[in-house]
């Protein structure tokens, strides 16, 4: 039997600032060392098999007022953990890693568990697509679509080589979470979303003259909101690991503590077992679970749908978007995520 080629995925995300991404990799390195010292399986096999490339994305939307979510995630994007847990914050010289030609960055890169890129993320995205066969790279977009739109505008033919675009965004048959109608990611850069959605039109011709358009799999609030991570599912696992000395558990405990409290304050929620909607992780579960042939995913009955983005009263034409309407199960998802992160299976 021929060995299956590894899946290739680009994750376009909005962690608040680049420092948070560097912090994540630093925490994972500490966690792997801790597990290794205990004779445990280190986990994070993908990171070890191939160092992820990290590139800096756009800092402003294409044509909109910049929207922040400090009211929810805190000023640092991680619930104030850089202040409350400074031992997890990497030294300030991490900034030189992304400066072209920096001697310090070249020396440091050898010991990093990721590859810092000196190119903007949309340029890096196009490079990877250009150097790869068509339909071999999946792009998971779990933030505003600014970087994807910049890539598509610069080289549409190369961008259309993507296997599919998995997007967390929009609100179709439910209320938005920024305005009564708008979801945060789409609202933050509607013109970028408009451009990406328009590329699904059958009028778009890709490489080799194929009349397929961009393949978009949309995860709107309709499907993401019900997928909850409840306190009873995650905190007992985290608290136990914190006592044992897990760096990752300590970091996650701090972030979740802020987030659960914020949700409780915002919605005046008094239930003891609060749940957080796992909007972004659901997209990752979709990509990973299909590699293992997990059944249960389904698109809406109307898919491919003509879903359009309102921006300045202008409409796109003839979009064909496959809207995900069903997953293998909300409870199955939360258990999978906790086990995946903390290697508790």
The CATH number of 8-342, from 3.30.450.20, 3.20.19.10, 3.50.50.60, 3.90.245.10, is 3.90.245.10
Give 144: exposed, middle or buried? Use CB within 10 Å, 0-12, 13-18, 19+. Answer: buried
Q: Could you state, in order of their start, the residue ranges of all structural domains in the chain?
A: 8-342
pLDDT for 230: 93
pLDDT tens digits, 61-79: 997 677 777 777 777 878 8
List the one residue out of 180, 172, 173, 192 whose CA is nearest residue 63.
192
**pLDDT confidence of 316, banded at 50, 70, 90?**
very low
Mean local confidence (pLDDT), 272-292: 91
Determine what percent of the chain is predicted with pLDDT higher than 90. 59
The answer to whether residue 228 scores a pLDDT higher than 90 is yes
**pLDDT confidence of 106, banded at 50, 70, 90?**
low
pLDDT for 251: 96
d(CA 81, CA 118): 27
pLDDT for 160: 95
Please, what's the b/e burial string for 70-96 (b: 16 or more CB within 10 A of its CB; e: otherwise)? Answer: eeebbebbbbbbbeebeebbeeeebee
pLDDT for 4: 55
- Ordered alpha helix ranges (H), the chain: 18-37, 45-49, 70-73, 81-84, 103-109, 121-130, 146-154, 156-159, 184-188, 190-198, 221-224, 231-244, 247-267, 279-291, 330-342
pLDDT for 270: 64
Helix (H) or strand (E) holding 217: strand 216-219
pLDDT tens digits, 137-168: 999 999 999 999 999 999 999 999 999 999 99
Q: Which of 55-69, 112-126, 175-189 has the highest mean pLDDT?
A: 112-126
The answer to whether residue 207 scores a pLDDT higher than 70 is no
pLDDT tens digits, 3-19: 456 789 999 999 888 88
């Amino acid at each position: 039997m021929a060995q299956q080629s590894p899946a290739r995925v680009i994750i376009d995300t909005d962690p608040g600032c680049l420092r948070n991404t560097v912090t994540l990799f630093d925490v994972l390195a500490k966690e792997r060392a801790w597990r290794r010292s205990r004779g445990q399986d280190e986990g994070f096999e993908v990171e070890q098999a191939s160092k992820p490339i990290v590139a800096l994305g756009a800092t402003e939307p294409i044509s909109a007022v910049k929207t922040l979510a400090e009211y929810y995630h805190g000023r640092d994007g991680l619930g104030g953990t850089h202040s409350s847990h400074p031992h997890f914050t990497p030294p300030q010289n991490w900034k030189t890693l992304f400066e072209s030609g920096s001697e310090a960055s070249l020396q440091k890169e050898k010991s990093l568990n990721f590859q810092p890129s000196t190119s903007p993320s949309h340029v890096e995205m196009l490079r990877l697509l250009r150097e790869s066969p068509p339909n071999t790279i999946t792009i998971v977009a779990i933030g505003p679509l600014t970087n994807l739109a910049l890539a598509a505008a610069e080289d549409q033919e190369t961008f259309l080589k993507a296997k599919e675009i998995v997007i967390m965004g929009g609100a179709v048959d439910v209320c938005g979470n920024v305005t009564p109608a708008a979801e945060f990611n789409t609202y933050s850069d509607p013109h970028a979303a408009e451009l990406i959605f328009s590329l699904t039109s059958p009028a778009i011709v890709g490489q080799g003259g194929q009349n397929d358009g961009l393949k978009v799999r949309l995860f709107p609030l309709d499907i993401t909101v019900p997928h909850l991570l409840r306190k009873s599912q995650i905190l007992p696992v985290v608290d136990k690991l914190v006592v044992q000395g897990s760096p990752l558990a300590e970091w996650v405990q701090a972030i979740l503590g802020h987030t659960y409290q914020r949700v409780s304050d915002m919605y005046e929620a008094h239930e003891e077992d609060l749940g957080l909607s796992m909007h972004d992780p659901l997209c990752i579960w979709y990509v990973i679970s299909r590699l293992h042939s997990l059944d249960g995913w389904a698109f809406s009955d109307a898919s491919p749908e003509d879903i359009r983005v309102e921006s300045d009263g202008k409409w796109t034409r003839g979009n064909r978007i496959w809207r995900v309407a069903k997953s293998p199960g909300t409870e199955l998802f939360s258990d999978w995520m906790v086990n995946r992160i903390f290697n508790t299976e």
